[in-house]
Amino acid sequence: MHILVTGGSGFLGRHLLQALKDEGYAQLRTFNRSACHDLQEQGIEVIQGDLTDFEAVNSAVQDCETVFHVAAKAGVWGSYRSYYEANVVGTENVLKACQTNGVRYLIYTSSPSVVFKGQPLTNVDERVGYGIPSKMCPYAHTKMLAEQRVLATDGKNGTRTVALRPHLIWGPGDRHLIPTILQAVRKGRLVQVGEGNNWVDISYVTNVTQAHLLALKALSETNSSVGGKAYFISQGDPVQLWSWLNQLLRHLGMPMITKKISARKAYFLGACLELLYKCCFIKKQPPMTRFVAKELSQDHYFDISAAKMDLHYIPQVSNEEGMERLVRWLKTQQK
């Protein structure tokens, strides 16, 4: 039986496929929009298609016992429809295909943003309710809708489901989060939002892949209690965001972040830029949005006790070791 990873060409997807290989799983398959010749060369079966195409998704799921649904449209800017189709319709197609093909286990990669309400999140656990529907961030809202569908499907037609909520995944191989920050620093465009003392959770990519494997193991246990549940995943060791970023820049020999803007001004600027970009039909992301202003200035870290208890998740790579690995990798990319 095959294991399918949707979005296997992405940052987390690639690490997850490698972790599965290291665990001895030989029949691996990925579903992507691109051909991913490098993955094929590693013996991984690649099926091309779009999540919104049920027939393509169904073809990818055939003969699979386990599905890791990692693929999603991420980001903070774009039409609500584009996020809804990729994240909600795409997940509905995966769920339907799993039930049609008798998939036993579905591990869904969700996001802590599903509980975003515009207010600080200080060491909250899974008892915190879902976020308030808002157009401030279509990614957060559509991931919330998708997660609800995944958890509500647990047990139907024999498919057990669980959702993981890793926060700010980072590490070697990242082509988006850290590179975007470094590019902004090089252009002198990264500005500290707020007082700079906000604490945030981060999730080293190896720890996140470990959590996915542990979720599969927990789901497959007799009388498993994790089905239909969601779990926050992180280092379990929050960092002060702006101090952590400056530490990374110091390791790379780059200038520190010294420019500042108040949280209130950043939020107002984001609102104005959102309106301007929408009125002028500008597709690229504004340099500031209301959601980004909130995320860069507020606390958002989580209690991972449930993951430790139910999944036996203990982060193996610390923030310090992760920083060393990331810096070494980034320096190889600069050559």
Among 105, 108, 139, 267, the active-site one is 139
Q: Which of 306, 299, 304 is nearest to 122 (CA)?
A: 299
Q: 64-94 burial by CB neighbour count: b if 16+ within 10 A, else e?
A: bebbbbbbbbbebbeeeeebbbbbbbbbbbb
Lookup: tokens for 46: 């690649």
Whole-angstrom distance, CA of residue 220 vs CA of residue 91: 21
Angle at 199 between CA 205 and CA 201, to 5 degrees: 20
- H-only helix segments in 64-197: 80-83, 90-100, 138-152, 177-186
Q: Residue 266: phi, psi to the nearest 5?
A: -65, -40
**Sequence letter at residue 34:** S
Residue 25 annotated to the active site: no
Tokens representing 34 are: 């691109």
Alpha helical stretches, state H, 84-172 = 90-100, 138-152
Active site residues per annotation: 139
